[in-house]
Amino acid sequence: MPVSVTNSQLIYAALKACDIRIMSALPETWLVHLIRMADDDPQTTLVRLAKEEEGVGISAGAHLAGVKSAMLMQNHGFLQSINGIVSLARLYRIPLLMLISYRGEFGERDPWQTEGGSVTEALLNALSIPYTRLEEPAHVARRIRKAQALAESSLKPVALLLCRDLMWEE
């Protein structure tokens, strides 16, 4: 499976450097290494979800209890989570660090991913969620650190789009 182990390790290390203790996740191909790393790390609590919106609740509970968390999901999981993002995270000023695998962009071969790809950024913009793309390995650590800083200072959701050039080795 040509999901980049090296770049997954970069992402994971950056999350650890941000003192992330809880990671919620729903498996998707590009996230397999990240989820395994979280599962193998005794200092990280991996919460495997049935549906991504639950992760908003997990992160909200963790934040109010004083623990930093991150959410790993596909962009279709982001679409699935929107009510929780609006009526919990935004309503109650909860920081969310969302790492979203950005399927359905240029290069996508799976027809079923293409609709989600075409609406992801439009929805992030409609929800005023600050986001940036992770494409270059050299940017990963800095952008994750900055995303978390903004989430914590604004008390709002922020998103990092895990892009094909970073996650997939063609």
Partner 1 sequence: MLRIDALRAIYNQLEQCVVVTIMGAVSAELQSIGHQPNFFYLQHAMGLASSMGLGIALSRPELKVVVFDGDGSLLMNLGGLTTLARYRPPNLVHVVFDNESLLSVGGFPTATATGSDLAGIAHAAGIPHTATVHNLESFQQAFSQALDANQLTTLVAKVEAKGPPVFLTDLPLLENRFQFARYLKNLAR
Which residues contact partner 1 (rule: CB under 8 A)? 21-22, 45, 47-51, 53-67, 69, 83-84, 87-88, 91-93
- Please report how close the Cβ of residue 47 comes to partner 1 at its closest, in angstroms: 7
Count of other CB atoms within 10 angstroms of residue 112: 10
Cα distance between residue 64 and residue 6, in whole Å:
33
DSSP conformational letter for 143: H
Sign of dihedral through CA atoms 23, 165, 145, 90?
negative
> Of 111 and 128, which CB lies nearer to partner 1 in the complex structure?
128
Closest to partner 1 by CB, 3 or 127: 127
What is the closest distance, in whole angstroms, from the C-beta atom of residue 152 to partner 1 in the complex?
A: 13
CB of 31 to partner 1, least distance (A): 17
Alpha carbons 132 and 38: distance in angstroms, whole number: 23
Q: How far is the CB of 156 from partner 1 (least distance, A)?
A: 13
